[in-house]
């Protein structure tokens, strides 16, 4: 535990909040309220786990990509997601936690990761839909987090967003190609949109009134916008893109509001959301089993890295 994480002294708390109000970042050695540190560890570790588990639905398709070009693009994307997990685990460690403990929580099934990665990838069009919608949603969320008050997290987000932009483009290009192809290919693209649309909206979290963590996070400028505000922004951007490639958003209630300039959308199935978050989605068990297998299979790599570090860098320890 960092030395500064003792009970909150009101004078220090006021200085901390004044610093945030001046839009100055908080750095690892700065004093911070214990609640701020805990909220960051919670949110950042869930984010890191999401990047790592998020490799699984797409990783499934690397051997089945329809061309060498598509295979190279997908391979690079999945590798990027592993890198994102590593940047975020590193930045979480600056808060005084050990990534091995965080990983153990994921493997034990006690840590959360994004609900979206508990849905199956049934066809190649799903890879297009994930890049377009899932990375698209991640960009909307993470562009805001790139301005978060905690410096190491914000800086990780800047780089991650650049890579997510490439991911979104490759996904949208796959969807554009399929939607503009044969009747069967168009149907595949529409089917993928139908299945991924609502889970993508759920990525932004519960409605603001049901979001217990938002007050802390908004107050301390970790979040700059609420869950509902970001969800709306995503809908507004994505509806126009679907229209451009002749796909239909699967929401009969969708309508444009001339006054607010927003696309109003229908009711999200919050029961489904909580079912998936609590571990009972279509692929929760499969994803954790695959993650545990990958962790066990990688034991020799960790052992080799530890042995190398002990021999060549005696002071260093490998996580």
**Rule CB under 6 A: which residues touch ligand FAQ?**
42-43, 46-47, 50-51, 54, 81, 112, 114-115, 130, 134-135, 138, 141, 202-206, 211-214, 217, 227, 277
* Shortest separation between residue 255's beta carbon and ligand FAQ, angstroms: 25
Q: Angle at the Cα of 287 (from 282 to 292), degrees rounded to 5? A: 150
Nearer to ligand FAQ, 31 or 163 (CB): 163
Report yes or no: 152 and 222 within 8 Å, Cβ to Cβ.
no
Nearer to ligand FAQ, 188 or 199 (CB): 199
- Nearest residue (beta carbon) to ligand FAQ: 54
Report yes or no: 102 and 48 within 8 Å, Cβ to Cβ.
yes
Please return the burial class of 216, using the count of CB atoms within 10 Å of its CB with bins 0-12, 13-18 and 19+.
Answer: middle
Nearer to ligand FAQ, 190 or 231 (CB): 231
> d(Cα 198, Cα 268) in Å, to the nearest integer?
7
For the beta carbon of residue 96, count every other beta carbon within 10 angstroms: 14
* Shortest separation between residue 80's beta carbon and ligand FAQ, angstroms: 9
263 forms beta bridges with 256
Nearer to ligand FAQ, 47 or 70 (CB): 47
Nearer to ligand FAQ, 256 or 270 (CB): 270
For the packed helices 34-53 and 68-93, what is the interaxial angle rounded to 10 degrees? 160
* Shortest separation between residue 311's beta carbon and ligand FAQ, angstroms: 35
> d(Cα 95, Cα 101) in Å, to the nearest integer?
13
For the chain, give the longest Cα–Cα distance.
Answer: 67
Residue pointed to by tokens 């190491």: 152
* Shortest separation between residue 282's beta carbon and ligand FAQ, angstroms: 14
For residue 165 the two structure tokens come to 């932009």
For residue 86 the two structure tokens come to 């590593």
* Shortest separation between residue 192's beta carbon and ligand FAQ, angstroms: 14
Nearer to ligand FAQ, 135 or 251 (CB): 135
Closest CA to 178 of 137, 139, 123: 123
Nearer to ligand FAQ, 215 or 246 (CB): 215
* Shortest separation between residue 147's beta carbon and ligand FAQ, angstroms: 13
* Shortest separation between residue 16's beta carbon and ligand FAQ, angstroms: 20
């Amino acid at each position: 535990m960092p030395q500064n994480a003792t009970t909150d002294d009101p004078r220090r708390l006021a200085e901390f909040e004044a610093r945030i109000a001046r839009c100055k970042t908080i750095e690892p050695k700065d004093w911070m309220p214990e609640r701020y540190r805990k909220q960051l560890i919670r949110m950042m570790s869930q984010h890191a786990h999401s990047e790592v588990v998020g490799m699984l639905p797409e990783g499934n398709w690397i051997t089945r990509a329809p061309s060498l070009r598509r295979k190279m693009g997908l391979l690079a994307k999945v590798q990027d997601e592993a890198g994102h997990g590593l940047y975020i685990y590193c930045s979480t460690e600056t808060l005084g936690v050990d990534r091995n403990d965080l990983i153990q929580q994921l493997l034990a099934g006690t840590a959360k990761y994004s609900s979206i990665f508990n849905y199956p990838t049934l066809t190649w069009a799903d890879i297009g839909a994930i890049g377009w919608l899932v990375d698209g949603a991640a960009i909307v969320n993470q562009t805001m987090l790139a301005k978060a008050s905690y410096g190491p997290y914000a800086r990780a987000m800047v780089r991650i967003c650049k890579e997510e932009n490439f991911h979104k483009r490759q996904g949208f290009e796959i969807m554009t190609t399929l939607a503009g192809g044969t009747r069967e290919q168009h149907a595949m693209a529409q089917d993928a949109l139908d299945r991924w649309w609502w889970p993508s909206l759920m990525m932004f979290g519960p409605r603001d009134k049901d979001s217990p963590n938002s007050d802390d996070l908004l107050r301390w400028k970790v979040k700059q916008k609420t869950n509902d505000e970001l969800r709306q922004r995503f809908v507004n951007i994505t509806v126009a893109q679907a229209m451009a490639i002749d796909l239909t958003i699967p929401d009969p209630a969708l309508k444009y509001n001339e006054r607010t300039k927003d696309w109003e959308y229908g009711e999200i199935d919050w029961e489904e959301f909580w079912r998936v978050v609590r571990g009972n989605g279509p692929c929760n068990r499969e994803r954790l089993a695959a993650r545990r297998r990958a962790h066990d299979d990688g034991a020799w790599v960790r052992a080799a890295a530890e042995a190398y570090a002990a021999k060549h860098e005696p002071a260093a320890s490998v996580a």
